[in-house]
Chain A
Amino acid sequence: KAGVTQTPRYLIKTRGQQVTLSCSPISGHRSVSWYQQTPGQGLQFLFEYFSETQRNKGNFPGRFSGRQFSNSRSEMNVSTLELGDSALYLCASSQTGDGRVQPETQYFGPGTRLLVL
């Protein structure tokens, strides 16, 4: 099976702009989680989608949003970009994300590296 893919891999934006990142999960996986990785804060949970619904949300401002499509592909959007949004954005997919099936591994994509100038 193909792994989790993310596009684009690199992105440069300026403050105030908005950005949309895309994540395609492993075929058959229905749960997609998003994480922000920075040197100072490590890996922080943004949100998780399952069956086109946001099931869990982390402690990020409303500028961070996402959605999931019927084919389980997911997008996340960041509006009004700030310098502090520069980070590696990782998505991860799992079969259901809630332990109903085993294993319940989250498989990560390669990430999108966002630089805000």
Chain B
Amino acid sequence: GENVEQHPSTLSVQEGDSAVIKCTYSDSASNYFPWYKQELGKRPQLIIDIRSNVGEKKDQRIAVTLNKTAKHFSLHITETQPEDSAVYFCAAGRLYNQGGKLIFGQGTELSVKP
């Protein structure tokens, strides 16, 4: 069935270091890969997304890379700050023929120590 595996489950870094979270998906028809950040007690919020026709996308300190052949994608956060501390979720979906359905990874709890 459809599955997204996410690693690591917890990640602790020093302020200013980089953080990398990796996800692997099983459904080869997936073509949309968003990343959400969820702070404690709050709703998930989209931080970046990528479609399968793009290999990499950047937005300031955040970047996502996609390897369709290996069916994995990664989130890179550079120059981490304490406010980056949160749970991050990757997800995979099929636009065009299964819209509105996202399969989420289990989440990564990122802690950025000042």
Contacts and interface: CB of A to CB of B under 8 A. Distances in A.
Chain A interface mostly: strand
A105 B46 contact: yes
B97 A98 contact: yes
Given A42-B89, A99-B95, A104-B95, A33 B32 contact: no
A79 B92 CA distance: 29
Contacts of B1: 59
A33 B44 CA distance: 14
B61 interface: no
Contact of B101 (A33, A90, A96): A33
Interface string B29-47: 0011010100000111110
Contact of B99 (A42, A97, A108): A97
A98 B43 contact: no
Contact of A106 (B31, B100, B106): B100
A48 B43 contact: no
Nearest to A113: B41
B107 A55 contact: no
Contact of A98 (B96, B102, B107): B96
Interface of A: 31-33, 35, 42-45, 48-50, 55-56, 58-59, 90, 94, 96-100, 103-111
Interface of B: 1, 31-32, 34, 36, 42-46, 49, 89, 91, 95-107
17 contacts: A33-B101, A33-B102, A35-B104, A42-B104, A42-B105, A43-B89, A44-B104, A48-B100, A59-B1, A94-B99, A94-B100, A99-B99, A100-B96, A104-B95, A106-B34, A110-B42, A110-B43
Q: Which 5 A-B pairs have the closest CB atoms?
A: A98-B99, A99-B95, A97-B100, A48-B100, A97-B99
